[in-house]
Amino acid sequence: MSKKDNQPEASLSLSKIDSDRNPEERQRDGKSGEILYTLKFHKSQKESIEEGKVTEIGSLEDSPPVDLHALNTDIYTHYAIFRMKDRSTTMIVQDKNGITYKALSLGRNTVKISCKVSIDS
């Protein structure tokens, strides 16, 4: 773990993942990407690890999903939707410090940030 907010040093930020995508990956928005990422969820009781591929990623200012409109863009900058191996989707958001969190949509105007997430490729 790094000293900065207990975020593991090997963790990728959403902005880094987005900037590293090639034009072919960008054309695949809405479909699972080619790269399999490992997401480690740092929950208070225990950590869990799952694998998934990016289906959508970008800046919160660039028309994010309606579910995320309730997020404060002064705090959070990027979002990503991952298609997990079990075919479910997981939404991840990034704050201005580059730290990533799992976001849960609880309705059109309510988003809960549940836990920190480390992302590795």
103 domain-assigned: yes
2 domain-assigned: no
Which is more confident, 69 or 75? 75
Q: Which residues contact 107 (CB under 8 A, 6 or more apart)?
A: none
Residue-wise pLDDT tens digits, 39-68: 999 998 889 999 999 998 988 887 677 778
pLDDT tier, 118 (very low <50, low <70, confident <90, very high otherwise): very high
The total of structural domains in the chain comes to 1
Residue 30 has a pLDDT of 59
Residue 97: which domain range? 14-120
Residue 28 has a pLDDT of 64
96 domain-assigned: yes
7 domain-assigned: no
Averaged confidence pLDDT in the chain = 84
pTM: 0.82
Q: What average pLDDT does range 101-111 have in this prediction? A: 85
pLDDT tier, 8 (very low <50, low <70, confident <90, very high otherwise): very low
Long-range contacts made by residues 58-63, C-beta under 8 angstroms, separation at least 24?
A: 58/18, 59/18, 60/93
Is residue 9 over pLDDT 60? no
Is residue 26 over pLDDT 80? no
Name the region of 58 (left: φ>0; alpha: ψ -120 to 50; beta: rest). left
